[in-house]
Amino acid sequence: MRVASKKLLDDSLHERLATSGFRFTAQRQHVYSVLLRKRDHPTAEQVFIRAKRHMPEISMATVYNCLDALVECGLVRQVTLDRGATHFCPNMKEHCHFYCDVCSGVFDIDLPTQTTLSLPQGFRAERLDLAIHGRCPACSSRKR
């Protein structure tokens, strides 16, 4: 990544955080960059491990704090698929997640749905989470 584009990203991150009343910190910048680098729906612990490579002193509590701030200001989606750990996804395009019941892999799926859902009176929807459970290509081809 070139310096100029990195600076732009940081400026935009700074602004997003500020808009939601958060401070711009090195930890939040780094956690966000970790998410952008490898978009594989890591758990908080996986983010922690990756973040520590370039920021060895970062703590788990801070990772949660950063992830929560990023979710709050609309840069990251929180994805809860089963009883296990929460996953985090920096892809904010409208899409859904495929969860493989066999290998627990998570995949982004572009959804073709026209989501014109009509909610009963009084409900105010803020976002949709469509999760598809099943078997991913690799696990489909393996014997069951």
CB 17, CB 32: distance < 8 Å: no
Among 2, 23, 118, 143, binds a copy of itself (CB under 8 A): 118
**Shortest Å, Cβ 3 to a copy of itself:** 36
**Shortest Å, Cβ 38 to a copy of itself:** 20
Closer to DNA by Cβ: residue 28 or 41? 28
CB 47, CB 31: distance < 8 Å: yes
Conformational region of residue 104, where left means phi above 0, alpha means psi within -120 to 50, and beta covers everything else = left
Q: Which residues contact 98 (CB under 8 A, 6 or more apart)?
A: 106, 107, 108, 109, 131, 132, 133, 134, 136
| Per CB under 7 A, 85 contacts DNA | yes
| Per CB under 8 A, 93 contacts a copy of itself | no
Please name the helix (run of DSSP H) or strand (run of DSSP E) that holds residue 139, with its range, or none.
helix 137-141
| Per CB under 7 A, 59 contacts DNA | yes
**Shortest Å, Cβ 121 to DNA:** 30
Residue ranges that bind a copy of itself, judged by CB under 8 A: 78, 80-83, 86, 98, 101, 107, 109, 111-113, 115-138, 140-141
